[in-house]
Chains A and B, each alone.
Chain A
Amino acid sequence: MQKATIQLETLTCPSCMQKIENGVKSLDGVDKKSIKVLFNSSKVRVEYDDEKVSIKDIENAIDKLGYEVIKSQVKAL
């Protein structure tokens, strides 16, 4: 399992959080309970199984929703 902290561009609407959370949740291999979208610091924290899904997949999913990913940090658990 890996733990990623993904820094996004500044989030302004609270409904963005819902969108991003649902978007990331739909990926296979992501630990659904671990997803935390931090509105004020504009970050996503998530744990995932790197054999099923890569950090790139997660970044793309967020990007497709219209939110720019600035950088990601991944740490093995």
Chain B
Amino acid sequence: MQKAILRSKNHITIISAILIISAFISKLGFENEEIAIIALIIASSLGVAPIAIQAYQALKVKVVSIDVLVTIAVIGAFIIRNFEESAIVTFLFLFGAFLEQRTLNKTRSAIRELTKMSPESALKQMENGEFEEVEIDEVDVGDILLVKTGAKIPVDGTVLTGEGHINEASITGEAVPVSKKKDSGVYAGTILENGTIQIIADRVGEDTTFGKIIELVEEAQDSKSEAERFIDRFSKYYTPAVLVLSFIVWIFSRDIELAITILVLGCPGALVIGVPVSNVAGIGNGARHGVLLKGSEVISDFSRLDTMVFDKTGTLTIGNPKVADKEIYADNVNEVLGYLASVEKESDHPLAKAVVEYIGDIKLYTVEKTDVVKGGGIVAHVEGHKVAVGNVALMEQENILLSEKARADIARFEKNGNSLVLTSVDGELKALMGIRDQIRPGVKDDLKKLKKLGVKNLVVLSGDNQGTVDLVARELGLTEAHGHMLPEDKATYIKELQEKGQIVAFVGDGVNDSPSLALAQIGIAMGNGTDVAIETSDVVLMNSDFSRLPHALGLTKATANNMLQNIIIAVGVVLVLLASVFFSEWMNMSIGMLVHEASILVVILNGMRLLRYKL
């Protein structure tokens, strides 16, 4: 019975609207007071039923909810035979709840769109070798699955056979299709745009990256910030307090009308819903733009950020050193480069790799008598020539004469922040290469935007030498740069900032910077290994995309502002209503309820603006 009534709430709302309208027509049009009263009584009794049931259920678990206030108010109106008020108040309350549900669904739409992208079925290889369509729950790790063009990848897995292009927007926020072939990793929830592939399932269901993202977003939406917990506590006492206040008013004034009006006016409607609505809309917007915000605590901290600390390698820079400058002091360029590439092929030093990559396809020679000089480079014999590849110290050790020009070049290269690789053949310097890590494209603009959004200090910390770090800082316009820093030095630095009362965000690679990530109020991991990044970060940038950082910051600021606006609207409405009941003539229950429901809609609509937020 209770359930049936609750379920037909929407029907009850419509019926009571019709009854109220007919009551007014019969009263004003036909001056038939009696039919009007009967219609209003039916409307109120019908309307109050679902509210009273909810009130009863709430009281059973010791919660004084808004339903309790409204139920008492309606019963009070009945006692003083004010059926008009009781009917209108119940109708407005139900209608408001209906609109609330509709609009709330809108604010949650961003997340729902995300969950809808979850795969539901898969083509699984059965024991007889045939592929059959099965429910996603029936897929286990190790199963072999077939994915056809246009289908969703059902699990996280590895390509066994076939090739194709996959749209990974659901994971990375990047809509450009990525090419996949044998041994490529694929993610659940991404879409195969062309080709056919067979994959083996590595992770299924909630363990997939996509499953984790969804779980995280869902939980983030419900996590509560300090402000929200305060409001929760507040409304826990506030609602009973309204009840007590109206009781006291009744005792002293013996005016039931006034007492029940206070009950309705005191409803904390917009206050309870205002903050969660901003939260949901903000987190929803982020999820759509490749930014996962882990809860409202993060939103509140991030929006008040003072200092952003960056790790250099792999964060501001690509983390993949490349040859940036070169000088050749020989005419037989191809031969020299061939010797150099042949020697460097022997080494797995990052600089050697950069050199080999830079030279590319070239005729290679047999290398003999390779001798690795620690902290210097390599000396070897190629085609009967003695070739030394390494730094300046190695050249000095090998007694190689550096010309005036070479010395000038070396100084210039070093000033540009390069690490040097010199090559000599038979005691003569032949080539000089400057290798440096490249700054991520677009980082400079992103940092400018962050500054514009009000971040006071942008700091880079790195294990590299001070010169290189200074150079990066100058090029990017950072406020501070510190080199020679071990992971624990970085953590200490962050602690010092925090002791000065600053709110600090740390952006690092998620592996060796974990102490700093954990210590900073906001940790942001850039590691491409999605798992680590998701788990250690407070703000997850999908696919480690640095350019999402300004959007993330702007969004949290907008969301925090939106919450504040909603709190002001909610509190303001209650104060104005309560004041007007004492100081004005026109205030009554129906108007109060109307204003309340309107204010609830206003805060929800205000929250919805966040869904469209763009930097």
Contact = CB atoms under 8 A, between A and B. Distances in A.
A63 B272 CA distance: 24
A43 B218 CA distance: 9
B273 interface: yes
B101 A12 contact: yes
Given A12-B100, A14-B273, A66-B3, A40 B108 contact: yes
Given A10-B101, A12-B97, A38-B219, A66 B57 contact: yes
B215 to A, nearest CB: 9
Interface string B504-539: 000000000000000000000000000000000000
A77 interface: no
A63 B3 contact: yes
Contact of A23 (B61, B97, B272): B61
Given A10-B105, A15-B58, A66-B3, A39 B276 contact: yes
Among A36, A39, A41, A73: residue with most chain B CB under 10 A: A41
B6 A66 contact: yes
Given A10-B101, A12-B101, A40-B280, A18 B222 contact: no
Contacts of B104: 10, 12
Among B61, B97, B101, B276: residue with most chain A CB under 10 A: B61
Interface string A15-27: 1001100110000
Ranked 9 nearest A-B pairs via Cβ: A40-B221, A22-B61, A41-B218, A15-B65, A66-B6, A12-B101, A38-B222, A40-B280, A19-B61
Contacts of A64: 3
Interface size on B, as a range, is: 20 to 34
Name the prevailing secondary structure of the A interface residues: mixed
A65 B221 contact: no
A14 B101 contact: no
Nearest to A19: B61
B53 interface: yes
Contacts of A36: 219, 222
Nearest to A22: B61
A14 B272 CA distance: 7
Interface of A: 10, 12-15, 18-19, 22-23, 36, 38-41, 43, 63-66, 68, 73, 75
Nearest to B104: A12
Among A12, A13, A38, A43: residue with most chain B CB under 10 A: A13
Contact of A13 (B7, B65, B108): B65
Name the prevailing secondary structure of the B interface residues: helix
Contacts of B422: none
A39 B280 CA distance: 10
Interface in B192-225: 205-206, 218-219, 221-222
Interface string B43-62: 00000000001100110110
B226 interface: no
Interface in B1-16: 2-3, 6-7
A47 to B, nearest CB: 14
Contacts of A63: 3
B331 interface: no
Nearest to B50: A66
Given A13-B272, A66-B2, 13 more contacts: A10-B101, A10-B105, A15-B272, A18-B58, A18-B63, A19-B61, A22-B61, A39-B221, A40-B218, A41-B221, A64-B3, A73-B137, A75-B206
A41 B280 CA distance: 10
Contacts of B111: 40-41
A16 to B, nearest CB: 9
Contacts, number: 67
A8 to B, nearest CB: 13
Given A12-B100, A66-B2, A38 B218 contact: yes
A74 B364 CA distance: 60
A23 B62 CA distance: 12
A22 to B, nearest CB: 4
A58 B317 CA distance: 52
B4 to A, nearest CB: 10
Interface in B138-170: none
Nearest to A18: B63
B63 A15 contact: yes
11 contacts: A15-B65, A15-B66, A19-B61, A40-B108, A40-B222, A41-B111, A66-B6, A66-B54, A66-B57, A73-B137, A75-B206
B65 A40 contact: no
A7 B115 CA distance: 12
Interface in B210-267: 218-219, 221-222, 232
Interface in B76-125: 97, 100-101, 104-105, 108, 111, 115
A38 B10 CA distance: 24
B165 to A, nearest CB: 32
Among B115, B218, B276: residue with most chain A CB under 10 A: B218
A47 B388 CA distance: 66
Nearest to A14: B272
B539 to A, nearest CB: 19
A19 B53 contact: no
B434 to A, nearest CB: 53
Contacts of A41: 108, 111, 115, 218, 221-222
A66 B1 CA distance: 10
Contacts of B137: 73
Nearest to B280: A40
A67 B2 CA distance: 11
Nearest to B60: A19
Contacts of A40: 108, 111, 218, 221-222, 276, 280
A34 B159 CA distance: 37
Nearest to B105: A10
A58 to B, nearest CB: 16
A23 B97 CA distance: 23
Contacts of B222: 36, 38-41
Contacts of B60: 19
B57 A65 contact: yes
Among A15, A63, A68: residue with most chain B CB under 10 A: A15
